[in-house]
Structure 1
Amino acid sequence: MDLATLSLYVVAASAVTITPGPTMLLALNNGAYGGKRVAACGIAGAALSDLILISAVACGLGTLLIASEQLFTLVKWAGAAYLLYLATVLWRAPVRSIQVDASAVTPPTGRAAFVRSLLVALSNPKGLLFFSAFLPQFIRPDDSIVAQYLTLAIVTAAIDIALMSVYAVGGYHSMRILSGRAMRWLNRTCAGILAGLGVALSLYRRSEPN
């Protein structure tokens, strides 16, 4: 893969990734309520999902998802249900701010943050469909296909790590600046957006295969 193609992919993937989605919102929330270590674990889970999804596309599973209405529907509803579940958890979560005794609130664990971010990405069929349609545009058939997919997977994970780190740091500092009431609304705003994304996912229709 030449440098020009890779640079174009970095710009395009960054433009798509920076839009607040489920994993970005979780990074923000993890930074606010779990601190840097928990946020890092969540980011690692999302980065691993990139590697898994792009590997799945390279193995042809994206094409299978496009072709199978039953499989698509199953994954879609599982993803929508999980987003709505996370929205409920965030909505009901206790608030911790700099003015509140940290011992009074149990922060999320690193393991939970890792699993949440991983499952959110893997249970969303739009991610696999997006990679199935997006990545082949940057693959040159005259070069090693495996090496190119591996390169794109690593670059995508690096982009996600960088951008989610920005969200996580923003969440961490907001916890130290905002009042408890403001933090509660931040939490519920994230929950509301996650719920909206869950509903949107449940209404999502795949494009019919050609």
Structure 2
Amino acid sequence: MGAALSDGVLIAAAGLGLGAVLATSAVLFNVVKWAGVAYLVWLGVQMLRSAGEMGPVPGQKNGQGKGASPRRLTLFRKSFLVAVTNPKGYLFFTAFLPQFLNPSEPLLMQYARLALVFIAVDVAVMAIYAGLGAKAVQFLSNRGALWLDRTCGGLLIILGCALALVRRSDV
């Protein structure tokens, strides 16, 4: 849901013209880029430092009452921040969405429809990933989780470093 919310923020920003500003402002582009770099590297380091312990398997009772658990809120926040601090997301929506807009009709409703479609597709894809992940976690041991954390942490750091090398002319 964090990624879905970030889609809405990115599409709203594109609709307000912030993507175009990001594409033309080296300073703003670099601010967003370096925030994304820092966040990806920080997440990677946290994963490398983790104990690799398995969390509760989805569907199991974990003693928590109703409502969102702190772990779910953390995952929501992380997924939102990873997507919203990626300058390429803003540029993507700024370049992609206008192809589907009719300039003679009100733009707000068109952006809203496109946002709903994009968010629905994103939620469906993420639900499939989550379902596959819930099945996979049943087969992982704590040692497997440690290996997975180390691999994903390393990949996040590599992605952060790759993002650091991105220049405006490359996007």
Q: TM-score, normalised by structure 1?
A: 0.70
1:70 paired with 2:27, answer yes
Counterparts of 1:169 and 1:93, CA distance in 2:
24
- Residue 88 of structure 1: aligned partner: 45
One-letter amino acid matched to 1:110: R
The 5 Å alignment of 1:129-140 reads 129-140=91-102
For structure 2, which runs of at least 5 residues remain unmatched after alignment? 56-61, 63-68
1:158 paired with 2:110, answer no
Contact 2:52 2:147 in 1 (8 A): no
2:152 aligned counterpart, secondary structure: helix
Q: Percent identity?
A: 48
TM-fit CA distance, 1:114: 1.3
Instruction: Detail structure 1 runs of 4+ shifted over 6 Å in the superposition.
Output: none
Provide the aligned C-alpha RMSD in A: 2.2
One-letter amino acid matched to 1:55: A
1:187 paired with 2:149, answer yes
Contact 1:80 1:198 in 2 (8 A): yes
When structure 1 is superposed on structure 2, of 52-61 and 142-151 the one drifting more is 142-151
Give the alignment partner of residue 9 of structure 2, picking from 37, 52, 61: 52
TM-fit CA distance, 1:97: 4.2
- Residue 141 of structure 1: aligned partner: 103
- Residue 206 of structure 1: aligned partner: 168
Contact 1:54 1:153 in 2 (8 A): yes
Give the alignment partner of residue 133 of structure 2, picking from 152, 166, 171: 171
Residues paired across the two proteins, number: 160
Deviation per CA, 1:46-97, whole angstroms, max 9, x where unpaired? Answer: 1111111101110111111111101111110110110000011112222234
Counterparts of 1:60 and 1:97, CA distance in 2:
43
Q: TM-score, normalised by structure 2?
A: 0.85
- Residue 36 of structure 2: aligned partner: 79
Contact 2:10 2:84 in 1 (8 A): yes
